[in-house]
Amino acid sequence: MSDGAYRLGDTEVTDEFAEAFPMRYARVVITAATDAWALEAARSMTGFATSVIGCKCEAAIERPLDAGETPDGRPGIAVLLFAMDSEGVGERILERVGQSVMTCPTSACFDGLPDGEKRVAVGSALRYFGDGFQASKVVAGERFWRIPVMEGEFLCCESVGVDTGVAGGNLVFLGADDAHALVAAQAAADAMRGPGIALPFPGGIVRSGSKVGSLRSSSIPATTNHRMAPTLRAQVDDSFVPDGVGAVFEIVIDGVSEAAVRECMRRGLHAAADAGALQVTAANFGGDLGPFHFPLSELRDPP
């Protein structure tokens, strides 16, 4: 092993670093009559939001909220949504709240980032769906819109705050086969979720890691990371997959701060080692992609 590599039990941790970059984000609080309906709205809102490469945003459920934590005293879900700029956040929030939250039975929508650097419209734009029958109300200095729907009214905050977060943190898990690698990745994903963290891929885990560009076409922005594909180990000269490894999974992390991403990675690294990963590493672009670097050598101490 190189100087920065080490072992956690039987797991080798490589001397690598994850590389991340700034993104803008918003937090939306969705409430409903029951936990189940709040979760349905949140799942719908965060669907098809795995990567800005193809989805224009990255979004995930941050955490469930009990009735004592929400503005209207009902069960809720906090959702984080990331995009490259504030305008992108605003567009995606408006689309997804309008299509996936307003349409969901019993739902309401609130701002989860009142102290954000900037504000983008939500209810003030969605109110036009009310076709002139909508009404506004100011509560504690914040304006809400009541939009009539067939069930009653959809209550929505006028705007949501936008702030600067960190996107692109990651961990990569290697196992003898897909079953063993997935156990480690799932344990890591479970440990990594929490306040300030979004894991945008299905179940928090991605199997189709990518590289920038293509070996054969200049028009494709991203293609499969052939160096991390076990089935290509014998076909390429620059494979990163060691002998004995049959499957690789990655977890991509978006967070509200550099500190949140770092501690999330620490939790995931140790959980994967406890679950028996053969190796844990990280992906980067040589330091050229973003200013935030997370060396695995600095995550050795347990969370």
Q: Three-state secondary structure along 118-166?
A: EEEECHHHHHHHHCCCCEEEEECCEEEEEEEECCEEEEEECEEEEEEEE
- The reported pLDDT for the residue numbered 212 is 84
Of 159, 38, 196, nearest to 108 by C-alpha is 38
- The reported pLDDT for the residue numbered 279 is 98
User: pLDDT-based confidence at 1, cuts 50/70/90?
Assistant: low
User: pLDDT-based confidence at 286, cuts 50/70/90?
Assistant: confident
Cα of first residue to Cα of last residue in the chain, in angstroms, is 24
DSSP H or E run through 280: strand 279-281
SS3 230: helix
9-26, pLDDT tens digit by residue? 999 999 999 999 999 999
77-122, pLDDT tens digit by residue? 999 999 999 999 999 999 999 999 999 999 999 999 999 999 999 9
* Per-residue 3-state assignment (H helix, E strand, C coil) for 20-51: EEEEEEEEEEEECCCHHHHHHHHHHHCCCCCC
239-275, pLDDT tens digit by residue? 999 999 999 999 999 999 999 999 999 999 999 999 9
Q: Which domains does the chain have, with CATH numbers?
A: 6-20+165-299 (3.30.70.520), 24-163 (3.30.70.520)
- The reported pLDDT for the residue numbered 211 is 87
- The reported pLDDT for the residue numbered 221 is 87
The predicted model scores a pTM of 0.95
User: pLDDT-based confidence at 45, cuts 50/70/90?
Assistant: very high
- The reported pLDDT for the residue numbered 102 is 98
143-152, pLDDT tens digit by residue? 999 999 999 9
Owner of token pair 């039987």: 10
- The reported pLDDT for the residue numbered 285 is 84
Q: Rounded mean pLDDT of the chain?
A: 96
